[in-house]
Amino acid sequence: MIEISIAKDQIIPLLLDACPSFKVVYEGSDYQDSPYTIAGEFSDHLLMLYKQGNVIEFSRVAELIERLIVYGDSYTKEYAIVGILESVQNVWGQNSVDTRDFESILLPESQEYWQRLNDFWEGKIPFDG
């Protein structure tokens, strides 16, 4: 199956499809025109779900992140990595939640970029996207 590149304007609809419980948060947001702020709100939402033990949508979220990285255009790929993955690392880490719990659901490409982000912030590598 050949997948067409995923563009910027497809990200939010795909995100809402993968995580329907985020729709209420998104629709109530004052930042719908600020994609990276939405990524932060999405990370907050995932943390809330995790703390409630409600992780039923996580496998679909992981599949979406993988698709955005593998099939996204350059903006979409960067958004998946810097917008979503890095936001999860920051939001979850700032709330004293073990980010490895989220990392464990990620698929191979997403795990690779998750580790690259960690290595970058630990000063081990320059981040190259």
Query: Per residue in 64-119, pLDDT tens?
Result: 999 999 999 999 999 999 999 999 999 999 999 999 999 999 999 999 999 999 99
The one-letter code for the residue type at 2 is: I
How would residue 127 be classed by pLDDT, with cut points 50, 70 and 90? low
Residue 121: the pLDDT is: 84
Rounded CA-CA distance 83/1 in Å is 27
What is the reported pTM?
Answer: 0.92
* Domain spans, the chain: 8-25+32-121
DSSP alpha helices (H): ranges in 72-107? Answer: 74-78, 86-94, 100-103
* pLDDT at residue 128, rounded to an integer: 65
